[in-house]
């Protein structure tokens, strides 16, 4: 593993059904995530994905590459714009990863880029992973 190495990019389709299932699993039933009428009434363009749903989908690029979700020791992002999920077609979250730093302590920092329709939805998305777990 070297600085600049690319992780396999992934596209994650996101539909309203995904958001309803995530709401059930997380307990976050805020209507901005499933009710278009409510979402637009509070100034959103449409229903939006849960931030934690987006964050979890993005880190899958790292966990799939590492082969072990437990290899991720740190993860953080800054949300830059909501992921709008129109009905019925949904949207696609595109995620790319790159090795930003390989550390002497046996970890590496991975920088993620997450976009929808070319627009960045997560900034400063970085994960630290134990390098012994990486393929």
Q: Between 131 and 45, whose confidence is greater? A: 45
Task: Return the pLDDT at 135.
Answer: 53
Helix residue ranges per DSSP H, 6-133: 16-26, 36-41, 51-66
d(CA 125, CA 55) in angstroms, rounded, equals 9
Task: Return the pLDDT at 71.
Answer: 95
Segment 36-53 mean pLDDT: 97
Question: Which is it for the CA torsion 85, 86, 90, 92, positive or negative?
Answer: negative
Q: Record the pTM.
A: 0.92
Task: Return the pLDDT at 134.
Answer: 64
By residue count, the chain amounts to 135
- Asked if 92 contacts 74 with a C-beta cutoff of 8 angstroms, the reply is no
Cβ neighbours of residue 104 closer than 8 Å, sequence gap 6 or more: none
Task: Return the pLDDT at 106.
Answer: 93
Query: 24 falls in which pLDDT band (50, 70, 90)?
Result: very high
Q: What structural domains does the chain harbor? A: 6-133 (3.10.129.10)
Query: What average pLDDT does the chain have?
Result: 95
Model confidence over 90-99: pLDDT tens digits? 999 999 999 9
Task: Take residue 128 and report the two structure tokens written for it.
Answer: 């630290």
Segment 51-59 mean pLDDT: 97
In angstroms, the first-to-last Cα distance of the chain is: 9
Cβ neighbours of residue 1 closer than 8 Å, sequence gap 6 or more: 99, 102, 108, 131, 134
């Amino acid at each position: 593993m070297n600085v600049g190495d690319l992780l396999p990019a992934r596209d994650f389709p996101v539909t309203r059904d995904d958001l309803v299932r995530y709401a059930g699993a997380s307990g976050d039933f805020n209507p901005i995530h499933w009710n278009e009428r409510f979402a637009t009434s509070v100034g959103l363009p449409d229903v939006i994905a849960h931030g934690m749903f987006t964050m979890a989908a993005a880190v899958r690029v790292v966990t799939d590459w590492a082969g072990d979700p437990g290899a991720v020791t740190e993860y953080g992002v800054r949300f830059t714009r909501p992921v709008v999920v129109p009905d019925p077609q949904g949207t696609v979250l595109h995620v790319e990863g790159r090795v930003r730093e390989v550390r002497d302590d046996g970890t590496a920092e991975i920088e993620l880029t997450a976009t929808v329709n070319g627009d960045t939805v997560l900034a400063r998305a970085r994960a630290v992973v134990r390098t012994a777990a990486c393929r």
